[in-house]
Every structure is written in structure tokens, then in C-alpha cells.
Structure 1
Amino acid sequence: MPAATTARRTSRFWLYAPFVLLALLAAGWSGLWVVARGKVEQHLEAGIAREANAGRNWTCRDRSVGGYPFRIEVRCAGVTLVSSRWGDEVRLEAGPTVAVAQASTPGHLILQVAGPLTATLPAGRNADLAWSRFEASLRLTTTGFERLSVVLNDPVATLRTPDQADGSLRSESMRSALFEAHLRPNQQGFASQQAFDVALSTKGTVMALLDGLLGDAAPGDLDVQATVSQALAFRRGFNHDALESWRAAGGGVEITKLGLTKGTARLDASGRIGLDDAHRPAGQLDAAVAGIERIAGIRVGGGLTAGLGALLGGRSGAQKSNAAAGLTPLPPVVLREGRVYLGPLRLPLQPLRPLY
């Protein structure tokens, strides 16, 4: 064979080789994506079946799995949860929902949900939650859960309860400009206490109960940082059995920071909250305030209560920190036997009801 002919064939091989290789890679990637899609659908079916066995029935209307070539997307025209585990049916419904994971980072899931979320509750109650944007981020590793973050823009929550007198629905609403929530395992306490760190924050929040307590209708900003011990009790849901398991295991909420700014008013607090034997919130908060004259009608600014706060308040280090921040310490806020006390004074609030 002439050398020129051999050279031409060799040159043509290198001309077409990249395209052949690209086609092979595309075919291989397509096969892997189809396999991944099948596994996602299997996991979804298995998860829905497990939830049904636990008394929670999920429905994803017009479900589809797509996103080829670089993503896996699960889309639902609407999502419904019906739970009859406790006899009285609870029904939750949300709008179009999409969950997305990039092929390069399959452990990072982004969830987007269109509102509103509506809830049909026992005893004739109903509620809804609306927002302009809802996005959640879930990070998983080979060893388990790493972090969950939820962001809602312009959330408005409304609870409607039948009035015992005439049967009409009484509405209570709360709105905010921004709500964020973050959850992750506590690095020091997860192994021994099953502890999770929780961070919540709101901006521009308006809530009638808080307005009544402080006598100020200005929007407020809230920042809460806490650690929840024995949190794995809630891995199967937030229900009566889970709450009782959590209480029996000695679970509690250690609040490291509770900061509230509302108009000219400021409040900083920390403490621990749990559940008593009657399943009511119980515990103690150490708080300091500025720009607040009354709480639930009781004078706290510059009077006897503030003096008691200096006497009964927290550690000296905390008192020095409060003084440096321009805050006046209050007596401990105690939740005991279904009542709320400010030092020795019982606040004129409705008794705390058992959670279950």
C-alpha cells in the first residue's frame, strides 16, 4: 500500500476520533442519567409507601422526573398531605412544587414551592400560609444529614378558630417581610445528646400577640439561636408520640440567643424551655430590655421590676454585658404550672395549654 494512502487514512482517523469519543461519552452519560432517574423514582415510591404506613398519605399531582442532561428534577402540579394518625384528619395542600439536584452535587437538593399552603385542622379550625417566594436547601452527605435551610419572602400566616359563643371563625394573623430557618447537627452534642442547632430570624414581623404584650404596633425583627437536645425523637414527624418521646428522654431547647427589636424597644434573652409532666411549656428565660415600659400591663422600665431584675437577674458577667449594651435586666421569666411569671409577679395571660 502506498505510503501516501496510509497517511491519509491516519489523518482521517484523528479527524473523526474526537467526534466518535464525544458520541460515546454522550451515550454513556445518557445511560447513567436514565439509571439515576429510575433510582429517584424508586426512592420516591418507597418513601411514599413508608409514609402511608405511618398514617401520612402524600400525593404529587402530575408527577414528572426530568432535567436531562445535567440535573434531576422532580415536578408536581400540586402536593397534598393527608394524615389521619390521630383520628381527626389533617389535610395540607400546596401549589406547584419542584425539587432539583445537580448531577455534579447530588447531595444538594433545592426545593421551590408555590403558595399558598392551606391546612384543614381538627375542631373546625383551618389555616393558610402565603408567600411571594419559598425556597429550601437540603444538604446530605454519605454519613447523613448536614444542613437544612428555608427562606420565605413576605410570609403571611392566618389561623381561623371557631368562636365558642356563636360558631363564627375568629382569625389570628402574623406577617413578615422575610423569614429564615436553618437546622444542622450540633458538632459537640450530636453523638451524646442527639442535639441539633436551630437558627430562626424574621424581618418586619407584625403579630397581634406581641403588639399587645409590648403595647407597640411597630414591625419587629427577631433573631433566635438555640440547640434542641434529643431531637431525633422527631425523625418520624412532629406529633404526640414524638413529643412524648422527646419529653421522656429529657429533651429541651437551650436558647443561647433571643433578640427582638421592635421600634425603639429591644429585648435580649437566653434560657431553657422544655415540657412538664402535664405536657405544657416550662422553663426559665433571663432577659434584659431597653425602650420597653410595660410588658402585659406590668411596668418594667425604671421601676420596682427593673430593680428586682438587677437583684434576681442572671450572672454578673451577663449583667455587665447588658449594661454595656444599654439594657436593663429583668427578673427571670418563668413558665411554671401553665402560668407565666416575671420574677414573683404572674403575668395576666391565658394559661398555657398542653401541647398534646
Structure 2
Amino acid sequence: ETPIDPQAVHPSGDSLTLDLTTRDIGVPASLINGSALEVLGPAVEAFSTEIQIKGALDTRSADVEALTAWRDGGGTVEVASIELQWNTLRITANGTLALDGELQPVGSFATRIAGLEDFITAMEEGGVLSSSDASIARITLAVLTRASDDGGPPRAEIPITLQDRIVRLGPVALIQLPPIVWE
């Protein structure tokens, strides 16, 4: 069981703000390949986020009609912050999510990542990334990595996008997500 400690939920008009912090999140082996689990370990040490769901959303049901009305009314999920610590991988991000015409998530995030080199290698060794995509990721990472202002490890500032169920790190397609089937 994952201990989740919601710090605050703030409903306000047509929006809802959620602050969430959790620690020691077990990562199912089916979610990520074995090579990445070997490098990163079986648990995310810490995860926190602050999100605001904007737009009138009927939270009593997440059915197709309610989600379509929310999307058509300009509904978005504004992610003020995400922080993840998983072994050597450190990620901070902010961005926006919405739903496309097929009610699949789309989004864009400004992301700062440290410790990505080992993760790219693990994804390549596990067959998730081809050698050419891993090479592109390494070149992109080398160009975008800067020394940290706070004395921590160097980090890259890389856009992460989600469109057509494909998660991209800069120009590199990382993973295709299965479709969400709303009922």
C-alpha cells in the first residue's frame, strides 16, 4: 500500500486545486522494463504535485458526456509543479494537460531532469528505445544539460509532450500509451 498524504484540496468555483505528496511508491514491473527497474530501483522515493483542474467538471461521474462537456468548455489541468525523486533520476516540471477530440490526454511540460543518462541506457538495453533513438536522446541531452545553480548534479531542461498517446522527450518518442476507454 502506498502512503498518500493529500496536503490540501481547494474547490473554488469552476476549478479544483490539489496538493499531493507521497513517498516510497512501488513501481509495478509491468509498468516499466526490467533494465530501467534495475537502474532506478523498485520504488519512487518521493513524488509531489500541485494541480488545478480548470473548467466546470461533473466530478460525480467521469463519463464520456461529462468529459466532452468539460473539454468543449475549455477544461484543462494546470500542473503548477511536479517533483519526482527516483534513485539518481530527479525531475521537476510544470505544464498543461487537456483532452483531444477522442478524449485522450494531450499536454506539454517544461521539464528539468537530472540523472537521465542511466535511464536512457537502461531503456536502450531493455529494448524500449532503439539505438538510434537512444543516440538522439543522448545528443539532445548533451546539448540541453547545464550545471546546476544549487550545486546539485547537472540537469537538462527538456520539453515533454503528449500527443496522439505518444510521450516525447524533446524530439524523441519515448513510449506510446494505451488508449483510455471511457465508459
- TM-score of the pair, normalised by structure 2: 0.75
Could you tell me the percent identity over the aligned residues? 23
What letter corresponds to residue 185 of structure 1 in structure 2? P
Q: 1:281 to 1:262 in 2, by over 3 A?
A: same
Q: Distance in 2 between matches of 1:305 and 1:204?
A: 30
Q: Distance in 2 between matches of 1:281 and 1:344?
A: 19
Per-residue deviation, 1:238: 2.5
What letter corresponds to residue 139 of structure 2 in structure 1? L
Q: 1:278 to 1:183 in 2, by over 3 A?
A: same
Are the aligned partners of 2:92 and 2:113 in contact in 1 as well (CA < 8 Å)?
yes
| Equivalent residue in structure 2 for 1:309, among 121, 126, 144 | 144
What letter corresponds to residue 284 of structure 1 in structure 2? S
Equivalent position SS for 2:93:
strand
Equivalent position SS for 2:158:
coil
| Equivalent residue in structure 2 for 1:287, among 103, 111, 114 | 111
Per-residue deviation, 1:237: 2.3
Are the aligned partners of 1:236 and 1:242 in contact in 2 as well (CA < 8 Å)?
no
Q: CA offsets per residue over residues 200-226 of structure 1, 9 Å max, x none?
A: 221111113257656412422110111
1:203 aligns to 2:29 (yes or no) = no
Q: 1:291 to 1:235 in 2, by over 3 A?
A: closer
Q: CA offsets per residue over residues 312-331 of structure 1, 9 Å max, x none?
A: xxxxxxx8xx8324351242
Q: Distance in 1 between matches of 2:9 and 2:71?
A: 20
Q: 1:253 to 1:289 in 2, by over 3 A?
A: same
Q: CA offsets per residue over residues 181-237 of structure 1, 9 Å max, x none?
A: 332125xxx4xxx1211112211111132576564124221101111101x322432
Equivalent position SS for 1:273:
strand
In structure 2, stretches of 5+ residues that fail to align are: none
1:184 aligns to 2:4 (yes or no) = no
Per-residue deviation, 1:277: 0.8
Equivalent position SS for 2:144:
helix
Per-residue deviation, 1:262: 1.4
| Equivalent residue in structure 1 for 2:168, among 338, 341, 354 | 341
Q: CA offsets per residue over residues 83-106 of structure 1, 9 Å max, x none?
A: xxxxxxxxxxxxxxxxxxxxxxxx
Match of 1:222 in 2: 47
Per-residue deviation, 1:308: 4.5
What letter corresponds to residue 50 of structure 2 in structure 1? Q
Match of 2:86 in 1: 262
What letter corresponds to residue 287 of structure 1 in structure 2? T
Q: Distance in 2 between matches of 1:218 and 1:291?
A: 17
Q: Distance in 1 between matches of 2:19 and 2:73?
A: 23
What letter corresponds to residue 79 of structure 2 in structure 1? I
Kindly name which structure, 1 or 2, has the bigger radius of gyration based on alpha carbons.
Answer: 1
Equivalent position SS for 2:67:
helix
When the two structures are aligned, how many residues end up with a matched partner?
Answer: 162
Are the aligned partners of 1:309 and 1:332 in contact in 2 as well (CA < 8 Å)?
no
Are the aligned partners of 2:5 and 2:21 in contact in 1 as well (CA < 8 Å)?
yes
Q: Distance in 2 between matches of 1:207 and 1:306?
A: 25
- TM-score of the pair, normalised by structure 1: 0.41
Which structure has more RCO (C-alpha within 8 Å, separation ≥ 6)? 2
Are the aligned partners of 1:333 and 1:343 in contact in 2 as well (CA < 8 Å)?
yes
Per-residue deviation, 1:336: 1.1
